[in-house]
């Protein structure tokens, strides 16, 4: 049995890769909007912000270094202690052609592993995600082979960045444990269960407990709920001994039929849930201690 932690940190994923402006008018798009969403989430109680960027002219996902740099600089100009967690997820999607499945069709984003982490080497954030899933995703497939994961992990390690391991099913946990055994990854590991993607982990208390029990005993984890399970998983993750994550990457509703007006509002609700269950929210400084991050920046 694992009791809830004395202090839990909130991560806010402010824009993501898949949420569209058609789903919510409150989605941050430009670097300025994304940075302001991160700062608002911090004021509401988030210790960590998870960052994707988008093309300001189209709203579509981007991996442009200049946009990432702009977001980071805007945040750091006002908050030096907030923990920045930048994605490396884009670049792993494959869409097979109908008549020649080995040929990539429109929508394929596959690029060399090192290209997927170029912005991490350049910006050296506190944390970056490292996806271990190879799985069906809608009508497409996401591909993260063990070899490619190891190549990305090498760049991340050399940049001095802590990877947050994204786990979409139990096989991903088995791969993570192998990566720990061969020293591709260093423990204690920081990881997340992504729950609610159609062909991956399905959200339930049983799934959270099952996944948690496959982890090394010193792991720090968050059970993330996608869509309507977002706030359910705040409670489930906390009660199972994990941390929590919310944000417009994961869901667009604050409650049934009510669009979340901001990422900050989602953080405020997650904080209320944890505190009403008897928990306490970690500050960025406390979250750094929990994760084992250096305090590289002056207090703000």
Q: From CA 157, how far away is CA 97, in angstroms rounded?
A: 36
* 274: its two tokens: 């944890």
How many residues can be counted in the chain?
A: 300
Ranges of the chain whose pLDDT falls below 70: 1, 296-300
Instruction: Please give the full DSSP string across the chain, using - where no structure is assigned.
Output: --PPPSEEPEEEE-S-SS--TTT-TT---SHHHHHHHHHHHHHHT-SEEEE-EE-TTT--EE--HHHHHHHHHHHHHH-SSSEEEE---TT-EE-B-SS-TTSB-TT-----HHHHTHHHHHH--SEEEEE---EEETTEEE---HHHHHHHHHHHHHTT-EEEEEE-SHHHHHHHHHHHHTTSSPSSPEEEEEE--TTSPPPSHHHHHHHHTTS-TT-EEEEEEPGGGHHHHHHHHHHTT-BEEESTTT-SEEETTEE-S-HHHHHHHHHHHHHHTT-EEPPHHHHHHHHT----S---
pTM: 0.96
pLDDT of residue 296: 56
Q: Report, in angstroms and rounded to the nearest whole number, the Rg of the chain calculated over CA atoms.
A: 18
Q: From CA 300, how far away is CA 288, in angstroms rounded?
A: 14
In 3D space, the residue among 38, 122, 120 whose CA is nearest the CA of residue 78 turns out to be 38
* 66: its two tokens: 């200049």
Distance of CA 184 to the CA centre of its chain: 20
In 3D space, the residue among 209, 218, 212, 221 whose CA is nearest the CA of residue 186 turns out to be 218
pLDDT of residue 13: 98
Note the pLDDT tens digit of each residue in 236-285. Answer: 999 999 999 999 999 999 999 999 999 999 999 999 999 999 999 999 99
């Amino acid at each position: 049995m694992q009791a809830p932690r004395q202090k839990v940190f909130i991560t806010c994923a402010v824009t993501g890769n898949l949420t569209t402006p058609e789903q919510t008018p409150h989605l941050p798009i430009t670097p300025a909007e994304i940075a302001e969403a991160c700062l608002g989430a911090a004021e509401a109680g988030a210790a960590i912000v998870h960052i994707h960027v988008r093309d300001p002219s189209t709203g579509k996902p981007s991996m442009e270094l200049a946009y990432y740099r702009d977001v980071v600089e805007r945040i750091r100009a006002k908050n030096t202690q907030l923990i920045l967690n930048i994605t490396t997820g884009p670049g792993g999607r494959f869409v097979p052609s109908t008549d020649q499945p080995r040929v990539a069709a429109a929508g394929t984003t596959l690029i060399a592993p090192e290209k997927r982490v170029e912005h991490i080497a350049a910006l050296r954030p506190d944390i970056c995600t490292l996806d271990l899933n190879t799985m069906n995703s809608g009508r497409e497939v996401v591909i993260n082979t063990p070899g490619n994961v190891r190549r990305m992990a090498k760049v991340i390690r050399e940049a001095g960045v802590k990877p947050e391991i994204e786990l979409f099913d139990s096989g991903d946990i088995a791969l993570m444990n192998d990566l720990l055994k061969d020293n591709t990854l260093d423990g204690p590991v920081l990881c997340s269960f992504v729950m609610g993607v159609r062909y991956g982990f399905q959200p339930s208390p049983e799934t959270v407990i099952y996944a948690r029990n496959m982890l090394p005993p010193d792991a720090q984890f968050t059970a993330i709920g996608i869509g309507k399970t977002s706030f359910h998983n705040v409670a489930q993750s906390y009660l199972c001994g994990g941390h929590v994550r919310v944000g417009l990457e994961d869901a667009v509703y604050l409650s049934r039929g009510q669009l979340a007006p901001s990422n900050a509002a989602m953080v405020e609700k997650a904080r209320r849930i944890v505190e009403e269950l008897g928990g306490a929210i970690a500050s960025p400084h406390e979250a750094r201690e929990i994760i084992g991050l250096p305090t590289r920046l002056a207090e703000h």
